[in-house]
Structure 1
Amino acid sequence: MTDRPDALELAQRVRPAMTSLYVAYFRNTERSDLTGPQLSILRRLEVEGPSRISHIATSEGVRMPTASNTINQLEKRGLVHRTRSAEDRRGVLVDLTEQGKHELIRVGKERTQYLANMLDTLDDASLQQLDAATDAIVRLAEVYANPET
């Protein structure tokens, strides 16, 4: 029999820290003029390619008007553009522009550096523990961060 940690006890210990880190991370990365939902849509377009607004809304777990408003904001900034679907001329696809791709890279680097600065304050043992937990954290994100799953 293994000594499997109790998920509820672990959650009670980890949740307050995750909440605090989430708030600190986004408070300090707010200097970017892109919101979390805007970045999420840009990232989704980077990964999935051109998509209909209805697909984006479903994938992001938001209603169509919310997705449409966010895409309008991104389009005004030149980060996405709309094109007619080759398969269905009535359909409109949203895709990243070159400027959108560059902005996504820039903001990603900025946020990665901020997180690296946070991690750099840990001692060696704590960094090693976090490194060992990375696969589990990534797996949780893969399973629970996408509303479609």
Structure 2
Amino acid sequence: MTENSFRTQDRETLELALGEQIHALISASHALNVRSAERFDATLQPAAFHLVRWLYSYGPTSAAALAEATAMDRSSVSRLIKQLEKSGYVSKEPDPNDRRGVLLSLTELGQQSTVSALKEKESVFYDRISRWDDKELERFTSMLRQFNGLEG
């Protein structure tokens, strides 16, 4: 076996190991999202909480923009928004920039319920990094930003 083929095999092994860890992170994050959605409101589908989390993070928006931002079809967003509105989590207001448009936003109940639901997720991730020193946390964050294409 040549040195070059040995390096290629080592690289492939490393890439497979990285893939396993990324999959583990995605799976753990998904499981935490489902638990957070259940904590938010067990009567709603987790997809409704996905919309709530987006509104919590980015603020008021139209249903069309919300559908596009969350990669959900408009009919699903419309159905879920009706459920969220009926439950008192989301309100509709006229768009000040477009009289025909409507902006969706979280109500006070929606904001409070979202914060409460996200606390469990935050505590799980905090527990995992609590023994890291600042340099380790900084390096991990930097590498994730690079991996996510947010840094050059």
TM norm. shorter chain > 0.5: yes
Check if 1:113 corresponds to 2:129: no
Aligned ranges 1:1-149 → 2 under 5 Å: 6=11, 8-22=15-29, 24-26=31-33, 29=36, 31-32=38-39, 33=41, 35-117=45-127, 119=128, 124=131, 127=132, 131=137, 132-138=139-145, 140=147
Cα deviation, residue 60, structure 1: 0.4
3-state SS of the aligned residue for 2:18?
Answer: helix
Cα deviation, residue 23, structure 1: 5.5
Choose 39-48 or 12-21, whichever is displaced more: 12-21
Choose 106-115 or 26-35, whichever is displaced more: 26-35
**2:33 touches 2:121 (CA, 8 Å); kept in 1?**
no
2:70 counterpart letter in structure 1: E
Higher relative contact order (CA 8 A, sep 6+): 1
Supply the distance in 2 between the matched residues of 1:91 and 1:107 (Cα, whole angstroms).
30
**1:46 touches 1:96 (CA, 8 Å); kept in 2?**
yes
Larger-Rg structure = 2
Supply the distance in 1 between the matched residues of 2:102 and 2:37 (Cα, whole angstroms).
31
**1:84 touches 1:92 (CA, 8 Å); kept in 2?**
yes
The CA RMSD over aligned residues, in Å, is 3.3
**1:29 touches 1:114 (CA, 8 Å); kept in 2?**
no
Count of residue pairs brought into register by the alignment? 135
Choose 36-45 or 82-91, whichever is displaced more: 36-45
Evaluate the alpha carbon distance shift between residue 57 and residue 106 of structure 1 in structure 2; reply closer, same or farther with a 3 A threshold. same
**2:37 touches 2:49 (CA, 8 Å); kept in 1?**
no
Supply the distance in 2 between the matched residues of 1:139 and 1:14 (Cα, whole angstroms).
16
